[in-house]
């Protein structure tokens, strides 16, 4: 429960959780000293390490131990663009490891200090400015964006910073890249048209906040994949809806007697290739009910 409230990133996040973050960021092994303290946001969302041994504050060690014990990690088939944009960009947990080499250039220092870039969303906004028609791809450009960046965050080389922002988001795999076509873009909530039927909701996107990207009891031997599943249905425009109405029936001679013989029938339309009649094999109990079930099963298999 402790870990759960620590990992809730919404407005309800307890104050102690922010202290925990600050302490985690303070208690880092020597190998992590070059990680800019300003961007040490969260050890579960980023790849920098904190002490997990006795060098750590005992109460915080309970947190990391619990996380380890229960196999806590980021996992999910797809995430909403809103969640993707909230992820920290620096040391992004799911980015290509090359992102760790992009921390200390002049442009990156400017992104951190002047532009206050922290999240994937911040980075994306800056990278998108490269697509502004008026932008001249030079640091002395006077387009609206560049003028703004030069005055407000006091950036002396807006073009270099935009390019660096683009480099940073280019390290994100498709599942974590806000520019990807995500399942949420094409998977819509199924419409309930018939009050007697509940349509299957096949949407796979994890919504909510960053707290919702975590799973426990994960299998450490399975590495999560960061490609996106393509669930767009490849249905030609003029194809029929895939719906078919089939009449099925079961029958039985001498139902209930030792010499009972059951059969099944399927009918779609005159001379339809799915029309069938079948005798039930003798290893299936010969009854009217079994005839009905076999007919329905056969119809489902043929229609598939
Ligand atoms: Zn410009
Ligand atoms: Zn800059
Ligand atoms: Zn019947």
Q: What is the pLDDT of residues 263-285, one digit of tens each?
A: 999 999 998 989 999 999 999 99
Rounded mean pLDDT of 24-43? 87
Cα distance between residue 169 and residue 216, in whole Å: 27
* Tens of pLDDT, residues 199-239: 888 899 999 989 899 988 988 888 888 999 888 876 555 66
CA 148 to centroid of ligand 1, rounded, Å: 9
Rounded mean pLDDT of 15-27? 88
Rounded mean pLDDT of 113-123? 95
pLDDT above 90 covers a percentage of the chain that reads 51
Look at residue 190 in the predicted model and tell me its pLDDT. Answer: 87
Residue, of 191 and 79, whose pLDDT is higher: 79
CA 177 to centroid of ligand 2, rounded, Å: 22
Rounded mean pLDDT of 50-77? 89
pLDDT above 70 covers a percentage of the chain that reads 97
Rounded to the nearest 10 degrees, how much is the dihedral formed by the CA atoms of 284, 285, 290, 294?
A: 10
CA 110 to centroid of ligand 2, rounded, Å: 4
Q: What confidence tier does 1 reach under pLDDT thresholds 50, 70, 90? A: low
ipTM over 0.90: no
Architecture of domain 247-303: 2-Layer Sandwich (3.30)
DSSP string, 58-123: HHHHHHHHHHHHTT-EE--SEE-HHHHHHSBSTTBTTS-GGGGGSSSSHHHHHHHHTS---BHHHH
Q: What ligand is nearest to the CA atom of residue 295?
A: 3
CA 118 to centroid of ligand 2, rounded, Å: 14
Other C-beta atoms closer than 10 Å to the C-beta of 95 total 25
Look at residue 287 in the predicted model and tell me its pLDDT. Answer: 95
Contact 36, 90 (CB under 8 A): yes
Angle formed by the axes of helices 58-69 and 15-26, nearest 10°: 90
Rounded mean pLDDT of 105-111? 93
CA 207 to centroid of ligand 1, rounded, Å: 35
* Tens of pLDDT, residues 45-63: 999 988 888 888 888 888 8
Q: What ligand is nearest to the CA atom of residue 155?
A: 2
Domain ranges of the chain: 247-303
């Amino acid at each position: 429960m402790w870990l759960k409230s620590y990992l809730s990133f919404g407005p309800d996040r307890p104050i102690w959780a922010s202290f925990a973050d600050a302490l985690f960021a303070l208690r880092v092994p020597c190998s992590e000293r070059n990680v800019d303290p300003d961007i040490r946001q969260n050890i579960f969302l980023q790849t920098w390490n904190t002490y997990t041994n006795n060098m750590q504050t005992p109460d915080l060690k309970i947190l990391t131990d619990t996380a380890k014990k229960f196999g806590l990690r980021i996992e999910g088939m797809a995430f909403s663009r809103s969640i993707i944009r909230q992820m920290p960009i620096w040391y992004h947990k799911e980015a290509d490891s090359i992102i760790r080499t992009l921390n200390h250039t002049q442009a990156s220092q400017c992104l951190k200090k002047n532009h206050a870039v922290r999240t994937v969303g911040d980075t994306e906004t800056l990278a998108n400015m490269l697509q502004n028609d008026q932008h001249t791809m030079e640091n002395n450009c006077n387009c609206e964006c560049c003028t703004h960046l030069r005055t407000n965050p006091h950036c002396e080389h807006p073009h270099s910073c935009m390019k660096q922002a683009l480099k940073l988001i280019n390290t994100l795999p498709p599942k974590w890249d806000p520019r990807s076509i995500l399942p949420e873009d094409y998977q819509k909530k199924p419409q309930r048209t018939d009050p007697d039927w509940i349509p299957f909701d096949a949407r796979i996107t994890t919504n909510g906040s960053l707290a919702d990207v975590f799973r426990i009891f994960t299998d450490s031997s399975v590495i999560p994949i960061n490609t996106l599943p393509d669930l767009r249905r490849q249905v030609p425009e003029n194809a029929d809806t895939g719906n078919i109405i089939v009449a099925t029936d079961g029958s039985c001679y001498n139902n209930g007697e030792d010499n009972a013989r059951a059969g099944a029938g399927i009918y779609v339309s005159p001379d339809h290739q799915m029309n069938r009649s079948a005798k039930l094999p003798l290893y299936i109990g010969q009854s009217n009910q079994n005839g009905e079930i076999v007919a329905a099963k056969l119809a489902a298999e043929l229609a598939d």
